[in-house]
Chain A
Amino acid sequence: MLKNLIKYELRSTARIFLFSYLAMVAITVAGIVIRAIANTAGRNPVEHTVLSFAVLALVIAVIVVCVITLIVIILRFGRNLLGDEGYLLFTLPTTTDKLILSKLISGIIWCVAGCAVTVLCILLIGTVTGTNLDSLMNTLAAATGAGMNVGGYIAWFIAMAVISLASLILGLYCSMALGQHITKNRVTGSCIAFIIICIATQIITYSVLALMHITQRAEYGAKQVEAVMNAGSESAQLKVWVDFANGVFNSYSIAVTVMSAALGIACYAITRYLLKRKLNLA
């Protein structure tokens, strides 16, 4: 059932997203082709200007696609579940969980696809302009050689991004589900709910981080200075500092991700409760 819900959700939104991605690729390719023509004609200043405009157009396109993605995610939930289409969705023999998850998973799929197309366009421009990707690869290899788990960091970064994205989307869903219970005007109610959720999220996140910062400083005072003093050589001291920095970075990023996941789960639980127990379609 979830698979079917996702299928229809992706089908309903495919047109607008595929068109957006096609536009991004078209802008990139057009910039590259025009630059190549200018290059053949031997007009270097024109070539550089064209390339600059192509990059600028791509940046604008990426921003526009991000905005479109956000709007579509909001509208799909608002219209498809809380609007007239909700009369169909809520009478299908499926659970509220699957309805919410289908929207969430589809939203994440489109966000990831948007990122992939953006990276593809950047790589295209990078390759054509002769930007040396080897230097990036060399840096990563050196970092790996120094004992840094580059693959692990990249995987962790992607996991953090997906969790934060899911949390943001669930926050939006929760705002919309709450919105209809706050005021008669659903949009105003949703905006008020979203502002409240954002403020609560910031307070909780910064409180925990501040608490962690105090703990880390205490740890630093008690253990790190001693470790540096005992390290001996300069390189050994440096290693202690790097390990310490890595530790702080990891503990902060883990804390932020865990909080993001917890807030996402809380928003999901509220949305689920309201749609399952307090549904009142206008």
Chain B
Amino acid sequence: MSTILECRGLTKRFGQVEAVSGVDLSVGTGRIVGLLGPNGSGKTTLIKMMNGLLTPTFGEISIGGYAPGIETKRLVSYLPDRTYFDENMKVKHCVGMFTDFYDDFNPTKAHDMLTSLGIDSDKTFRTLSKGMKEKVQLALVMSRNAKLYLLDEPIGGVDPAARDYILNTIIRNYNEDGTVIISTHLIADIEKVLDDVVFLMAGRVERTASVDGLRESEHKSVDELFREVFKC
């Protein structure tokens, strides 16, 4: 198993606040990894640094052997925790945009997923509900044949039924040679799909382990362990 993502001493400060502190992390290919931690633990900051949207204060990131830049953007399929399309864009133009910019994007797959969701491609983004917008973005992100999927809180703002749909979409559509990193604090919903977990607390990596290994050694589910580790 080769390494797709490597972080060395990764630190991000916002003024006096250290959001991420000296994170060392190595993630192999073909894994589904849960980046788990309570609110404010640094999950989103870490993912944003991986995407080059935040500049690290210290440390290095390597994705597929490259520092964040144009090469890594070809490898990474990123789902942010917000709507990132122009609200006036039609859904079909969003698909067109991904087709134009990403060589590994499969528009047929995207249209099929949108059809299964009952989304009219002629609708503008503005007219969709929050949940629908998230699903459109997820459909586009998962229609790429990426090496690394970085999904920031994909199930954060949706109802339990939609969570199942989203998780099934991820499992059914990701590139099996690739790696999926899912950040969330909703462990119980996501536990069943994870191979590995990374616990983040106050910007530091508290623990990294495989889910099976964790269950065997601790005799607890990841959710139970999470509640124990992050007990208030």
Residues of A within 8 A of B (CB): 1, 4, 7-8, 11-12, 15, 80, 84-88, 90-95, 277-281
Contact = CB atoms under 8 A, between A and B. Distances in A.
A8 B97 contact: yes
Interface in B24-65: 48, 51-55
Given A88-B85, A281-B48, 19 more contacts: A4-B97, A12-B86, A12-B88, A15-B88, A86-B84, A88-B84, A90-B51, A90-B53, A91-B52, A91-B53, A91-B76, A93-B70, A93-B74, A93-B102, A94-B70, A95-B70, A279-B52, A279-B53, A280-B53
B93 A84 contact: no
A15 B87 CA distance: 13
B162 interface: no
B101 A94 contact: yes
B83 interface: yes
Contacts of B51: 87, 90-91
Interface string B62-91: 000000001001101010101111101100
Interface of B: 48, 51-55, 70, 73-74, 76, 78, 80, 82-86, 88-89, 93, 97, 100-102
Given A87-B82, A94-B101, A280 B55 contact: yes
Contacts of A84: 82-84
Contact of B85 (A4, A85, A90, A93): A85
B88 A85 contact: no
Contact of B78 (A12, A86, A91): A91
B94 to A, nearest CB: 9
Contact of B54 (A8, A93, A277, A281): A281
A4 B105 CA distance: 16
B221 to A, nearest CB: 33
Contacts of B102: 93
A91 B146 CA distance: 13
Contacts of B74: 93
29 contacts: A4-B100, A4-B101, A7-B100, A11-B93, A12-B89, A84-B83, A85-B84, A86-B53, A86-B84, A87-B78, A90-B51, A90-B52, A90-B53, A91-B51, A91-B52, A91-B53, A91-B73, A91-B78, A92-B101, A93-B70, A93-B73, A93-B102, A94-B70, A277-B55, A279-B52, A279-B54, A280-B54, A281-B48, A281-B54
A85 B89 CA distance: 12
Contacts, number: 62
A146 to B, nearest CB: 53
Contacts of A277: 55
Contacts of B97: 4, 8
Contacts of A90: 51-53
Contacts of B101: 1, 4, 92-94
Most buried by A among B52, B70, B88, B101: B101
B79 to A, nearest CB: 10
B145 to A, nearest CB: 14
Nearest to B76: A91
A169 B78 CA distance: 31
A22 B63 CA distance: 49
Nearest to B87: A85
A85 B100 contact: no
B124 to A, nearest CB: 11
A202 to B, nearest CB: 32
A15 B73 CA distance: 30
Nearest to B150: A91
A100 B70 CA distance: 15
A281 B86 contact: no
A9 to B, nearest CB: 10
**Complex A-B, nearest 7 residue pairs according to Cβ-Cβ distance, in ascending order:** A88-B84, A87-B84, A93-B73, A87-B80, A93-B74, A281-B53, A4-B100
Nearest to A11: B93
Contacts of A8: 93, 97, 100
A165 B54 CA distance: 31
B123 to A, nearest CB: 16
B225 to A, nearest CB: 32
Given A1-B101, A93-B102, A278 B54 contact: no
Contacts of B88: 12, 15
A31 B85 CA distance: 40
A91 B76 CA distance: 8
Contact of A278 (B55, B70, B83, B100): B55
A94 B70 CA distance: 6
Nearest to A9: B86
A91 B80 CA distance: 10
Nearest to B83: A84
A182 to B, nearest CB: 14
